Structure formats: structure tokens, C-alpha cells
A and B are shown apart, each in its own frame.
Chain A
Amino acid sequence: MTLTQSTNNALSSLSAVSEQISVVSQNIARVNDANATRKVASVVTTAGGGVTIAGISRTANKLLLDTYLNANAGSQTQTVINTALDQLQNTVGDTDSDTSPAALISKLNTTLQSYSATPQNSAVGATVVTAAQELADSLNTATATVTSVRNQADSDIAASVSDINSLLSQFQDLNQQIVSASNSGRDITDALDARDAVLKSLSSEVGIRAVSRDNGDMAIYTDSGVTLFDKTARKVTFQQSSNLSANSVGSPVYADGVPIAGTPHMMSISTGKLAGLVEVRDSIAPTYQSQLDEMARGLVEAFAETDQSATPTLPAVAGLFTYGGGPSIPTSATVIPGLAGSIKVNANVDPAQGGNAELIRDGGISNPGNPAYTYNTSGGASYTDRIQQLISNIGVARSFDPSSQLQQTASISNYSKSSVSWLEAMRQSSSNEAQSRQTTADRAATSLSQDTGVNLDEEMTNLLSLERTFQASSRLINTVDSMISTLLQAAS
């Protein structure tokens, strides 16, 4: 051990400390970055007693990261579903709200009862028409809302797919950097952090499994096992529909040529925003739409007019309520997609359109010129039989399509109430589920950050000890310097 070597060792310590300080400074600077992990410069002793920085490593935890990726994907699915249900529920309202179809059906019922008390008063007849008009409008609006929710989901799917593709191409760049720099001693911790951040963003869009391979390489599969990334990014494709209507189905999402969501699907994903959006577009919204369609079909059926001739020969036709396919009555217990969008009050009975509101009392709405459908054959102003029949029709149990997921036999007013409670129950359970999944995701994020994130206290303690080392090494150089000057003085 010579004096020169002592100086060299002190110098190596100074340079190691300055590198460690720079790592500490990076850590401190990123204390608020959720994706930053704690970097550690590993110091090794070299032959001769000096020190050098062997490399910079980071505190990573693949297991916790995987847990977070799963929890985050699950939470995103439910959040998306919850948002869509909220949107449906807000516009459609509940049974108490006077804008919901259920409330408007009972309002129509009330006005019919008032009309049956004073059948000679055509102004009361007009209130029945107004109530019917409101009901038809509310079904039309609800259909428009459902359609817009589906279209929104469809365009969100397109956005999500384009996000996935751009995240995958970012991942490809970072993965290439990492693979080529691994084992080189180069500092790749920032690239690793960035790659993990991409994985986190990706897990919001679609449920993923990340598989680590040799040389720091990583492959990504969907939660259903479809390859998203293996050396190169796979294409995720989706054809956005220009305008989804109640009777059209959106296109499926393909990843690596496999349909992963939508119809048809082969290896369908179960989590991530994408899964939630497809669920909203292809299952939740269409089911609610079919309930609305069934309600509308029930109304057309309840207010239908039959042939009043002694020997009925003509088929029943749509009365107060008609629709795009009128005047014939739609088949019982079968959903006609989009019927709720086209239901309307027959112009023949609407005073605003030059019709006659008294036709409600007298019948013959479908064709005032055809006496076969006229109930009030005598033309008496106090005829209430038809009105009473209509009131009982609203209350009578009828068959509904089982695909609407509500009871198959119910009165039209009960059916509409069940639909509201179905939506409310869906919203409630999905909100609870979203909350619990959000909690799981938050917990996973917290434990990931606690395990791998930067702890300011720890960094400050390190900083202090590094400062001491630096001072001691400088002191050593100072001492050797004064020893050499003593020698130089001896030589003079």
C-alpha cells in the first residue's frame, strides 16, 4: 500500500460517492412519480482496495406488479360498465320520476280513468292523447339514449384499440432497448420503469399477462392467452360502426387474428376497459333496449283495435299507439328491435295533427273511415265501454319475450316497473363491484409503491452517510498531500 495508491483509492471512493449521490438525486426527484422505482447503485470493492460502481439496479417486484395489472384491469372493466349504467339510469329515471316510461304509463292510466268519468268532455280526451304522446316520446328518447350509449361504447372501443396499438409499439421500442442493453452494465433502469408504466397503461385497456424471458425480454398475452407482443407487437384491429342502431350488432375486436371480444369471439378477454365496453355495447345496452321494445310492443298490443263486426273477419290493428311496422299488430312475446324508437301516437287521434281525441272513446283510430273498428256504434257521448276496456288492457297480464331478462308474463305497467328495477339493481350491484375492485386495485398500487417506490426518509439517510464518506475520502487526500509536501520540503 503506497501513498499513491491511497490517493487512488480515495479518488475511487469520491467518484463512487458522486455517482451514488446522482442516483439519490434521481430518486428524490421522482418521489412523486408513481411509476418510478427506487434505484440503487451497487458498490463493489476492486482489486487494490478501491471501490467502483458495478451497476445501477432497481427495486422491482414482478409478483406485485402482476397483481396490480390484474386488479387494475378488473377495476377498469367495472368502472366502464358502471359509467354506462349510470348514464342509462340518469336519462331514463326511476319509477317516481315523472319522465320514466313506468310513471308515464300510470299517468296514461289516470287520464283514461278521468276520461271514463267524463267521456263527453273532449278536452279530457285530449289529455289522454297528451299523456300517450309523452309516453311515446319517453320511449323514443330512451331508445335514442341506449343507441347513443352503444355508439359511444363503439367509438370508445375504437379509441381503446388505437391506444393498445400505440402502447404496444412503445413497448416494442423499450423492450428492444432493454434486450440490447441487458448485462452490459449500462443503466437500463429508466427503460425498465418506462416499460412497466406501459404495462400499467395497457392493463387499463385490456387484461394482460406479462411473461419475462431471457435477456430482460418480455412477452405480453391477453388474459385469454392471445399473443399481443412477442419480439414484435401484434396488430389489434377493430372496424368502428358508422352508426349502430337498435337492430345492428357492432363488429368484433381482433388481436393477432383472433376475435377476442364481440360477436363472434373465440378467446374472449374478461377484463380491461375493452371487455367492459364490449359488454355494454353487446349485452347490457341491447338487453335494456329489448325491454323498451317489449314495453312499446305491449302498448301497441294493449291499445289495438279489433274488428267489431258481428262476424269479425278483419285482423286486429294498432290503435292509439302505432309504430313503423303498423298498422298490423306485432307477434306476441317476440322482441322487435327498435320498436320503442318508432312508437308514436296515431295522428288520427291527435288534435294537434288534425285528429279527433274522441276516437279513444269511440274506437276506429286506425281508419276512421272503416266502421268495422268502431266500438261506439250508437255514437252516444257517454259511451265508456271502450275506455274501460283500455284501462283493463293496461292492467291485464300479457306475454313478453324471455330474452329481455324480465318476467315472461306481466301487465304492461308491472313490466315497465320491473325494467326500472332491473336497471337499478344492475347499477347497484355494478357500483358495489366497481367499488370493491377499485379498492383492490388501490391496495395493489399502494403495496407496489411501498415495495418498489422511493422513500424520502431512506434517501435522506443515505445522503447523510454519503456525505460523510465523501468528507472522509477528501480528508485522506488532504493528508496524503501534506505528507508528500513534507517529503518535497526534505528534498529542497
Chain B
Amino acid sequence: MGLYGVMTTSVSGMSVQSDRMGTVADNIANINTTGYKSASTEFATLIAEGSVAEYVPGSVSTIARRAISQQGDFTYTKSPTDLAVSGNGFFMVQSDAGTPYLTRAGNFVPDSAGDLVNAAGFKLMGYNLLDGSSSSVVNSAAGLQVVSTSGLGMKATPSTAGKFGVNLPADAAVTLAANLPSANAATAEYAGKTSLVTYDNLGHQVTLDVYSAKTADNTWEVTVYNAAGASASGGFPYAAGSQLSTQTLTFSPTTGALASGGPALSINIPNGATFSLDVSKMTQLAANYSPQTGADAPSANGSPPTAVDRLEISNEGTVTAVYADGSRVDAFRIPLATVSSPDNLTAISGNVYATNKESGDLQLGTANDGGRGKIISGALESSTVDLASELTSMVQAQRNYTANSKVFQTGTELLDVLVNLVR
């Protein structure tokens, strides 16, 4: 081989160094690309057959590597749909053509159709919890749906449970039977009234007027009316059919706690659900009629028709729609995908990766579980490129390239000498 061999070897040396320069260029260019994993080059020798008596220079070849499993730093943002993975997992996304890919680029925003799309145009996929229509298919993204806010329209939640914690005045006067609120007379007397807002199936507001009147020592009558039937002044007498429930409660004369008649009143809200009003925290003490504070305060669940105010995404990847009234509905679960060898994934334009034989099969699972890492909402994973090491590599590549070119140049000069021998 001789001198020609020297020249080809040095050319291969220059070629791999230019490959290395290529990775440096790519890395520096992507220094701010969200979810970018830095590329590097490894080199392998190609040995030419030779003998002890003769050295035949071989060659060198490039093996490009991507440090896909390397964790990037987080940059925090104000958008809850900006997601980052802290750990080994990948988001499942799909291209416009519907091909599933893996990615760490979590800069998602809802598009006009409500789908969560990242900067490179890939749509985030997850399990639909709203209607449970997603199926789980082993080692495949087949059962996943595009995460979309479009299914989250207005909703009304009918009230089903409430608490009625009030203190009844132990020293109140006993009310005559004819004047009890349950008799619904204009002359009704009571020791206290509290009204609670509940909602029917369509989200209409149904206000419950809860009256408490003392019928005998330690014995009280609690009567619930639908406020819609109240008289012009807002009180008795109510229209026929407005009385929703009445119950006699007795209280312990030693502790003032509820003794019998509890623990709950069952009320059929007109056009609504059966409402269970918990009265177990009622007390009868020698104090004014007053609603309890803290956890026992009178309250009722349910909500009027409200629209989605914002999305919240938990560490486990649960996408929760928060309605304007503060109620929450779990809409989607974003799974995380892992493969056995992430560094061997095939990189595809748009910061996405495809599985191949070397990387191993796709495994889907819940985030924050089984080493898949957790999802951080309001953060993005920065590029893993470090400028200082890239510049160092660049200087090295430059020097190595020069050295290779010097070998080539010397080889040419030697050939010149050879050619000049025949003059």
C-alpha cells in the first residue's frame, strides 16, 4: 500500500474529524432547543490486513452517539401545559400522519382544536379519563388518544351532599305546634334559619331554607323548604309542595351533641339528585344560633354550569380541568414511555425519537411510578449541550484535522520526491 495508504488513512482521519465538527455545529446550533439531547462522536479503527514485515495503515470510522438518556436542566415557565420529565420516561406524541413518537420536548400549547401540540407540531397523547374510551395496549401506543381540551365543555354538577353544622340555642323558647315551621303558617316561629345553595341536574340554583325550631327541651324540629316557594317577603307561608323534609332531632342534655334523628336528612332536590344533609355536627348549647366554623361550616357541593378555567397537570400526569367555580375534573392521564436502551433510539426531526430494534420495545406506564420519572408542569427540559465542552471539542477537532492534513501533505510531498526520481 505504502504512501497511498498513508494518504487514504489521513483522509479518513480528516473525514471523521469533520463528522465531529458536524456534531459540534449541531449541538451549538441546538443549544436552546427544548428537549434536545447532545450528539457526540465515537471513533473505531478499521485495520487493514498486514504482516509483521509490512505495516498497512488502516482507517478510522465514525459512530455517532446521542446521549438521549441524559437529563437536561429545567427552565421554569408560567404555562401549566409546559411539561418536563424528571427521570427516564418520554412523552408519547404523534405526527400529523398519526405515527407515534417519543419526545422530551414538552412545550405544548392547545391549538385551535384544543389539542396539545408542541413547538415541533407533534400532538401529545394520553388516556381519556372523561369517557374511559382509551384502551391500554401492551408495548404499543395504539390505545392512546390525543390529549385535547375540546371535550371539556360547560358542565353542571348536581348537589348530592352537604353539611349543616350549627349551634342551636339551648335556652330558646319552645314553639307552639301550630307555629312550627313544618306547619307552614304565616305565623311560623323559629330559633334560626340558614339557607344553603344547591344545584339541580341542569345547574339551576335551588336554595334550601333550613329552619330550626324547639319543640320541647332538648328536642328540635329541622324543616327544609325550597326557597323558590317562599312568600313575597322571603319567608312563610311557602307555596304548597315547597316543604322538602322535616325531621325531629334530640340532643343530649349532658354534652349538647346530637343524640337521635341523625346523622343525615335525605332531601330530594326538585329536578335534581337526592341530597344528603349531614346534621351530625349540630350542637345544642347555651349560646346563640350560630353556624359552626371550620370543617363543620354549613356547605353543600355541586356547581352551576361553568366553563373550564384552566388545566392542571399533576406529577402523575393527570390532566385536571379546573372549572371557574373551583371544581375539578380529571380529563386525561399522560403516560410516560420507556425503552430498554434509550440512547439507541432513532432521532427524527422535531426532537422526537422512534423505537428500533436496538432501543427495545415501547413500555407505557404511569408517571412517578416504576422509575419512569415524574412530570413537572410549568417547566421545560433544556438542551443538554454544554457550550464549554463543545468549544473544547471544536478546538480538538480543529487541531486533529490539521494534523491529518499535515500527514496527507507529507504523503504528497513524498510522492513528489518519488515522481521526480524519474527525470
Which residue of A212, A216, A230 has the most chain B CB atoms within 10 A of its CB atom? Answer: A230
Q: Which of B214-222, B287-295, B349-357 contacts A (4 or more CB under 8 A)?
A: B287-295
Cα A322 to Cα B217 in complex, Å, equals 55
Main secondary structure of the interface of B (DSSP, over half): mixed
Point out the residue from B195, B293, B388 that lies within 8 Å of A212, measured CB to CB. Answer: B293
Cα A8 to Cα B72 in complex, Å, equals 12
Q: Chain A: how many interface residues by the 8 Å CB criterion?
A: 51
Q: Is the CB of B205 within 8 A of A52?
A: no
Which residue in chain B gives the minimum CB-CB distance to A66? Answer: B293
Q: Is the CB of A213 within 8 A of B209?
A: no
Q: Is the CB of B325 within 8 A of A209?
A: no
Q: Chain B: how many interface residues by the 8 Å CB criterion?
A: 55
A30 beta carbon closer than 8 Å to chain B: no
Which residue in chain A gives the minimum CB-CB distance to B389? Answer: A2
Q: Which of B297-341 contact A (CB under 8 A)?
A: 297-299, 309-310, 312, 322-326
Point out the residue from A209, A212, A215 that lies within 8 Å of B326, measured CB to CB. Answer: A215
Point out the residue from A214, A230, A258 that lies within 8 Å of B298, measured CB to CB. Answer: A230
> Which residues does chain B contribute within 8 Å of A234, judged by CB atoms?
195
> Which residues does chain B contribute within 8 Å of A231, judged by CB atoms?
197
Point out the residue from A180, A257, A258 that lies within 8 Å of B325, measured CB to CB. Answer: A180
Q: Which of B48-56, B107-115, B228-236, B253-261 contacts A (4 or more CB under 8 A)?
A: B228-236
Cα A393 to Cα B294 in complex, Å, equals 67
Q: Is the CB of A230 within 8 A of B289?
A: no
> Which residues does chain A contribute within 8 Å of B39, judged by CB atoms?
none
Q: Is the CB of B289 within 8 A of A225?
A: yes
Cα A231 to Cα B196 in complex, Å, equals 8
B395 beta carbon closer than 8 Å to chain A: yes
Q: Is the CB of B76 within 8 A of A46?
A: yes
Main secondary structure of the interface of A (DSSP, over half): mixed
Cα A20 to Cα B423 in complex, Å, equals 84
Cα A213 to Cα B299 in complex, Å, equals 8
Q: Is the CB of B193 within 8 A of A487?
A: no
Point out the residue from A8, A47, A211 that lies within 8 Å of B293, measured CB to CB. Answer: A211
B73 beta carbon closer than 8 Å to chain A: yes
Q: Is the CB of B290 within 8 A of A230?
A: no
A378 beta carbon closer than 8 Å to chain B: no
Point out the residue from B192, B227, B234, B324 that lies within 8 Å of A176, measured CB to CB. Answer: B324
> Which residues does chain B contribute within 8 Å of A217, judged by CB atoms?
299, 326
Cα A5 to Cα B71 in complex, Å, equals 12
Which residue in chain A gives the minimum CB-CB distance to B205? Answer: A232
Q: Is the CB of B234 within 8 A of A179?
A: no
> Which residues does chain A contribute within 8 Å of B323, judged by CB atoms?
180
Q: Which of B2-10, B57-65, B268-276, B379-387 contacts A (4 or more CB under 8 A)?
A: B379-387
Q: Is the CB of A8 within 8 A of B382?
A: yes
Q: Given that A4-B387, A211-B297 are known contacts, is A267 also in contact with B291, CB under 8 Å in the complex?
A: no
A391 beta carbon closer than 8 Å to chain B: no
Q: Mark A218-240, 1 if CB is under 8 A from B, else 0.
A: 01010111110011101101000
B18 beta carbon closer than 8 Å to chain A: no
Q: Given that A48-B73, A232-B197, A235-B234 are known contacts, is A209 also in contact with B227, CB under 8 Å in the complex?
A: no
Q: Is the CB of A237 within 8 A of B233?
A: yes
Q: Mark B379-406, 1 if CB is under 8 A from A, else 0.
A: 1001001111101101100100000000
Q: Which of A236-259 contact B (CB under 8 A)?
A: 237, 254, 256-259
Report B155 CB to chain A, min CB distance, Å.
14
B140 beta carbon closer than 8 Å to chain A: no
> Which residues does chain B contribute within 8 Å of A50, judged by CB atoms?
73-74, 76
Report B330 CB to chain A, min CB distance, Å.
15
Report A491 CB to chain B, min CB distance, Å.
5
Report B288 CB to chain A, min CB distance, Å.
6
Which residue in chain A gives the minimum CB-CB distance to B190? Answer: A266
Q: Is the CB of B387 within 8 A of A484?
A: yes
> Which residues does chain B contribute within 8 Å of A120, judged by CB atoms?
none
Q: Is the CB of B324 within 8 A of A180?
A: yes
